[in-house]
Amino acid sequence: MKFIPVLLEEAKAMIVESVKKNPLVSIIVPVHNRPSELERAIKSILNQTFSDFEIIVVDDCSTDSTPGVIQTLEDLDDRVSGYRNEKNGGGAYTRNEGARRARGELLAFLDSDDEWVPEKLERQIAYMKNCDGHAVLASYYLVVETNGRVHKRGPGIIPTGHIRESLLKGVCNAVTSVVLIKKEHFDRVGGFSGDLQSMQDYDLWIKLSEFYTCECIPEYLTIMHTDADVRISISPQYRIAGINMFLDKWAETISREIGEKYVDDIRNHHMDSVYYHVAISGLRIGEREPFWTWIRHVRSHGVRNKRNLLLAIGFYILSFLKSTKV
């Protein structure tokens, strides 16, 4: 009978090893040439009050010091694993590569330039236990500009329950970094679509909404950082092409399920958003010419928050007067 304690010890070791191999949450962090931002993002994960997770960092062929930062983070905590794409694949491909390697029951995504508050995972996991069947669990979030200005994305920003109709009407404000999703549901719809050059998160939410519902925790659990220099460097034409690709994919579904007019509504809203944000970004980094180049394309009825447009014009006038003051 001496072999029984041995078997018990072996069984215990196997259970411990199983727990190590199968964390509850897999956190996917895609990165490309963002060494300092990546370090901030990973530290915000390691500071979580919930600890049963793995961190999968996927480097999309960075050409700077990012690989060295990933190695340092791996050495810092054994829950961090770094991988590198063989070729540059873009955001959707890189996130899918991370999800493919994930061992957790739940998936969370954190963009390398964003961060979480310490209670983010703990609050979402506790909330999800009461939301059987919900595929996507979101939360409010903060948007922080490089100048320190903070914008709240709170009540009414993310639809809840059966959200398919809202999504098809163009209501989509859940950024990737705020969500928690069951891996089996993510896999069922094929993850992020690699055939789109933008709006991949919106595309994913629509795919999920065919089968699942959504809940949103009314707490600010994610901090999204924006960089005016980066926004203006991304070609508006590239963004517009992405909008058209998205609508080429979904126009028939939108027309069939809720009406053809919403196709144009979505196109106009997102194009207005591109024009507006590129214009404002140029203004905020001191390049006023792009402001007038792009703001003239914005239809006044197409900006959902007309107050922002009026404030932007006022800001431009003040900036111009300040620059010409002798």
Same domain, 263 and 172: no
Whole-prediction pTM value?
Answer: 0.83
Query: What are the tens digits of pLDDT across the range 80-109?
Result: 999 999 999 999 999 999 999 999 999 999
Q: How far is CA 289 from the centre of its chain?
A: 30
Three-state DSSP at 117 gives coil
Q: Domain range for residue 28?
A: 3-226
Mean pLDDT of 229-247: 74
Phi/psi of residue 197, each to 5°? -95, -5
Question: For position 311, what pLDDT does the model report?
Answer: 61
Q: Are residues 250 and 62 in contact, defined by beta-carbon separation less than 8 angstroms?
A: no
Same domain, 176 and 264: no
Angle at 157 between CA 152 and CA 158, to 5 degrees: 130
Same domain, 218 and 276: no
Percent of the chain at pLDDT > 70 equals 75
Mean pLDDT of the chain: 83
DSSP structural state of residue 105? S
Residue finishing a domain among 226, 258, 274: 226
Residue 323 or residue 45, greater confidence: 45
| CB-count burial class (<10 Å; 0-12, 13-18, 19+) for 24 | middle
Nearest to 43 by CA among 117, 131, 137: 117
Domain count for the chain, please give it.
Answer: 2
Query: What are the tens digits of pLDDT across the range 166-218?
Result: 999 988 778 899 999 999 999 999 999 998 988 999 999 999 999 999 989 99
Domain holding 187: CATH number?
3.90.550.10
